[in-house]
A and B are shown apart, each in its own frame.
Chain A
Amino acid sequence: MSATDTPVSLPTPDTAQRSPWGEVLHSLSRSGTFLTGLAIVVFWIVCALFGQHFVPYDPLASDIINALTPPAADHWFGTDQLGRDVFSRVIVGSRDILTVAPLATILATIAGTALGLVIGYFRGIVDDIVSRVLEAFMAIPVVIIALLAIVALGTSKITVIVVIGLSFAPIIARTVRSAVLAERELDYVAAAKLRHEGALHTMFVEILPNVIPPILVETTVRLGYAIFAVATLSFMGFGIQPPSPDWGLSISSNYGMIGGGFWWTVLFDALAIASLVIGVNLVADGVHGAFND
Chain B
Amino acid sequence: MVFLGGQVLPGNVGRAILGPFADQRAVDALNHSLGVDRPLLVQYGSWIWNFLHGDMGTSYVFRAPVAPFVIDALGNSMKLALVAFVLVVPIGILGGVIAALNFNRPLDRIISLGGLSVTVLPEFVTGIILILIFGVWLRWLPIAAAWPKGAGFFTQLYYLTLPSLPLFLVLFGYIARMARSGMIEALDSDYTRTAVLKGLPWRMVIWRHVLRNALLPTITVIATQTGYLIGGLVVIETLFRYQGIGSLIFTAARGKDFPMLEAGILTIGIVYAVATLIADFLYSVLNPRIRLGAEQ
Contact = CB atoms under 8 A, between A and B. Distances in A.
Among B120, B132, B261, the most chain A Cβ lie within 10 Å of the Cβ of B120
A258 interface: yes
A228 B120 contact: yes
Given A143-B231, A263-B137, A278-B117, A148 B122 contact: no
Interface in B55-72: none
Interface stretch (A1-9, A47-55, A134-142): A134-142
B97 interface: no
A251 interface: yes
Interface string A261-293: 101001100110110011001000000000000
Given A147-B250, A270-B128, A259 B137 contact: no
B116 interface: yes
A258 B143 contact: yes
B128 A231 contact: no
Contacts, number: 107
A151 interface: yes
A274 B123 CA distance: 10
A170 to B, nearest CB: 14
Given A148-B5, A152-B9, A270 B123 contact: no
B121 interface: yes
Nearest to B10: A152
Nearest to B268: A144
B136 A263 contact: yes
Contacts of A62: none
Interface in A17-50: none
Contacts of B228: 141
B234 A143 contact: yes
B275 to A, nearest CB: 11
A263 B136 CA distance: 8
A235 interface: yes
Interface residues of A, number: 35
Nearest to A251: B128
Interface SS, A side: helix
Given A140-B227, A258-B135, A224 B120 contact: yes
B132 A266 contact: yes
B120 A141 contact: no
A236 B227 contact: no
Contacts of B180: none
A136 B234 CA distance: 20
A261 B137 CA distance: 8
A278 B118 CA distance: 9
Interface string A74-117: 00000000000000000000000000000000000000000000
Given A139-B272, A147-B249, A259-B143, A152 B122 contact: no
Nearest to B276: A139
B123 A277 contact: no
Contacts of B11: 151-152
Contacts of A147: 234, 249-250, 253
A255 B239 contact: yes
Among A142, A148, A261, the most chain B Cβ lie within 10 Å of the Cβ of A148
Given A140-B227, A236-B234, A236-B235, A281 B116 contact: yes
Given A144-B249, A236-B234, A274 B10 contact: no
Given A228-B120, A258-B132, A270 B253 contact: no
B125 A139 contact: no
Among A144, A236, A258, A263, the most chain B Cβ lie within 10 Å of the Cβ of A144
Interface in B257-296: 261, 265, 268, 272
B8 interface: yes
B157 interface: no
A194 to B, nearest CB: 38
Contacts of A231: 122, 124-125
Given A141-B231, A147-B234, A281-B117, 14 more contacts: A143-B234, A144-B249, A148-B261, A151-B11, A224-B120, A228-B122, A231-B122, A236-B234, A236-B235, A248-B124, A251-B125, A258-B135, A274-B129, A278-B120
9 contacts: A143-B232, A144-B265, A151-B253, A152-B10, A228-B120, A231-B122, A251-B125, A255-B128, A273-B121
Interface of B: 1, 5-6, 8-11, 116-117, 120-125, 128-129, 131-132, 135-137, 143, 227-228, 230-232, 234-235, 238-239, 249-250, 253-254, 256, 261, 265, 268, 272
